[in-house]
Amino acid sequence: MVHRRIVSAVKRVEYVSDRLSYIVLRGRWHNIIVVNVHAPSEEKRDESKDSFYEELVQVFDHFPKYHMKLLLGDFNASREREYFQANNWTGESP
């Protein structure tokens, strides 16, 4: 669902899987990509979790670096914190 004030800025909405989707918004100087995720819970098999993160990386790598990317959602487990820190996705400088 998109608020009516930003409907005109929507360039594309993509449902990648039942756990991953994104919307591309037209910004003033560059596009804004909002990625929404629902990660597998800690109880799921490792293959399921690995597949999810591979898919997430592919989506992020698909977009040019100069676009603003926002990652939102439910990450369900403590393992994700380690993954994001290892891949420097925390927003902190290296």
Tokens 């925390």 locate to 90
Of the pLDDT bands very low, low, confident and very high (cuts 50, 70, 90), residue 85 is: low
pLDDT of residue 77: 56
Q: Is the pLDDT of residue 17 over 70?
A: yes
pLDDT in tens, 44-81: 677 777 888 888 888 888 888 888 888 888 877 555 55
pLDDT in tens, 22-33: 999 998 899 999
Of the pLDDT bands very low, low, confident and very high (cuts 50, 70, 90), residue 1 is: confident
